Structure 1
Amino acid sequence: MLDVVAWVHIAGGRMLAVRARGRDLLYLPGGKREAGEADWAAISREVREELSVELDPRTFRRLGVVHAPAHDQPEHTHVRMSCFTAAFHGRIHPSGEIDELRFVSVNERELLAPAARAALDLAADSGLLG
């Protein structure tokens, strides 16, 4: 089981997704916690590394947790992804291992890895997609 954190950012009724170098599907910004790292610290660090923006700790909110098969991992590997929202400062642009960013609508589910699809559903169920 992969236990990760993810930033759910919605703009214009679409969810931000990223493509890491060498990946075929889109994922949410975020990743694994370092040893002893709290959710807020992990997601802030990952988003800074991937998108060059700073999340605002005052707006940090837990959206929920999704479970899904892990894409591009050994068979039977699953992901537990804790999803959070937060406002940010700066201009979003891909950096580090991120080659592409894209805002995805509910009609573009096929572009997303399974856990990101589950997060899209969570955002829709929470009323974030309009």
Structure 2
Amino acid sequence: MNATHTLESVGWLCIRNGRLLVVRSVGRDAFYLPGGKIEPGESHKQALVREVREELTVELAPGHLTPAMLVSAPAHGLDDTELHMHCYTGPGHGEPSPAREIQEMAWVDSHTTDRCAPAVVTVLHKLRAQGQCG
């Protein structure tokens, strides 16, 4: 892909029973990782804490977030744009529940990628290769 633009984001890898938590925003047709864009002046961890709180009402502690992988993939729905998503793992406090712009959440594995954005598909394949996800 010869993208003319790049977009940087953060994503939370929440894995339970071999499945990855994904979310779908209102008006979107694909699932994404919980997380999102980094606001000016925010660190990756600060952005992830804010986004996950807003999207799922789950509290993440920045000190307990660990970098897991950097994923590069075509940005879903954006022509000529490549997404660079910094993925983190870490415990969350509270049960995930769709909030604000999140319409739906699901638990997926590498066999259920048909409705996932390209970056999520890449994450799922990497997690499967590491034995963390089905």
Same fold flag (TM > 0.5): yes
SS at match of 2:77: coil
Determine whether 1:22 maps to 2:31: no
Uncovered stretches (5+) of structure 2, i.e. residues with no partner: 1-5
More helix by share: 1
* Contact kept? 2:53, 2:59, Cα under 8 Å: yes
The one-character-per-residue Cα deviations of 1:62-109 (angstroms, maximum 9, x if unpaired) are: 111011111111x21110001111101012100010000000021101
Distance in 2 (CA, whole Å) between partners of 1:25 and 1:81 is 16
**Residue type at the aligned position of 1:62:** P
Question: Could you say which residue in structure 1 is the equivalent of 2:129?
Answer: 125
**Residue type at the aligned position of 1:29:** P
Instruction: Provide TM-score, normalisation by structure 2.
Output: 0.91
Root mean square deviation, CA, Å: 1.2
Distance in 1 (CA, whole Å) between partners of 2:15 and 2:95 is 15
Aligned length: 129
Give the alignment partner of residue 113 of structure 2, picking from 97, 109, 112: 109
Question: Could you say which residue in structure 1 is the equivalent of 2:3?
Answer: none
Distance in 2 (CA, whole Å) between partners of 1:30 and 1:10 is 15
Determine whether 1:49 maps to 2:54: yes
Uncovered stretches (5+) of structure 1, i.e. residues with no partner: none
Instruction: Provide TM-score, normalisation by structure 1.
Output: 0.94
Question: Could you say which residue in structure 2 is the equivalent of 1:94?
Answer: 98
